Amino acid sequence: MEKAFEELQIKDDFMFSVIMRNPKFCKPFLERVLEIKISRIEYPKSQETIDISADAKSVRLDIYVEDGNDTVYNIEMQTTENRNLPKRTRYYQGMIDLNILEKGENYKDLKRSFVIFVCTFDLFGEGRHIYTFENRCLQNLELGLGDDTTKIILNTKGTMDDVTPEMKTLLDFIDGKEPEDDFTRELDEAVQSVRKNEKWRLDYMTLQMKFQEKYEEGFETGRETGIGIGVESAKLETAGRLLEMGKFSLEEVAAGSGLPLEKVQELAGKQPV
């Protein structure tokens, strides 16, 4: 369901991307999540699309930034549980590395990378605020692979005492609670500022129109294709197109394709990313 521009919160993809493209907010956000100090943020890019080749599936990154210490950070906001997030982190990681190599770098020079998903739900159901994953030897968990890749799943609904008070305040704010410290108050002010910005309003409306056009295009293509390949196949094709866009709930995909919700849930579980 499309949300009015005035109702956007920091957990909404558009708002999060607008705010985090500013180093003033992106840098302390990363420092709070990773509990490190970052010297600087280089060329923040919002909604960067990495395209490896004409035949490969492109991947749109919400926030993709680099620091001055050969480290890459990809931050994604996720409010919908129906996507295969673990495999998406794997896919994003691979595409980031391939993008670096495509620019002529040697694999030995691959930068350290963090893929961070900020989720407004508990993906793993353990009550943790943060789940951090690195490649380790199963026979000796103290032995790391040393490939310099880290994947982090944040959970705004966490219940454990497993993060700093500052981090919990940040996650609580993203989840919809009132700001409680200087940084979250600054983020709240930034949200209010964006809501009053007519340029961002226009950009948001344009983006929504494009999503709606894609939605209708997928539905119409499926309907027309049904004449030649059968109604059921057309519905499956339409549902696949809508799922691949990654911007519609399972209920909306079901309504747009004409498939039962149970069938759409089955298809979503087979999505590679």
- The pTM for the full model equals 0.74
Give me the phi and psi of 269, to 5 degrees please. -70, -20
Q: Cβ(159)–Cβ(127) under 8 Å?
A: yes
Q: Assess contact for 242 and 268: CB atoms under 8 A.
A: no
Strand 112-119 to strand 59-67: parallel, antiparallel, or no bridges (unpaired)? Answer: unpaired
Q: In whole angstroms, give the CA distance from residue 136 to residue 134.
A: 6
What are the residue ranges spanned by the domains of the chain? 5-196, 199-269
CA distances to 61, 117, 203, 249, 273 from 92, rounded to whole Å, are: 8, 11, 25, 21, 9
Three-state DSSP class for residue 62: strand
Distance between CA 131 and CA 112 in Å, rounded?
Answer: 18
Q: What is the pLDDT along the chain (273 residues), one digit of tens a residue?
A: 467 888 899 999 889 989 998 899 999 999 999 999 998 888 645 445 544 344 444 445 568 888 878 899 999 999 887 567 888 888 888 888 887 777 666 777 788 999 999 999 999 999 999 999 999 999 999 999 999 999 999 999 999 999 999 999 999 999 999 999 999 999 999 999 999 999 888 888 887 777 666 656 655 555 555 544 456 776 777 777 677 666 667 777 777 777 888 888 888 875 543
Assign residue 148 a region: left if phi > 0, alpha if psi is -120 to 50, beta otherwise?
A: left
Quick check: 237 and 244 in contact, CB under 8 A? Answer: no
Q: Considering only CA atoms, which of 131, 50, 124, 54 is closest in space to residue 93? A: 50
Instruction: Record the tokens describing residue 209, joined without a space.
Output: 């129109």
- Across the beta sheet with 71-78, the strand order is 41-50, 59-67, 71-78, 112-119, 149-155, 130-133
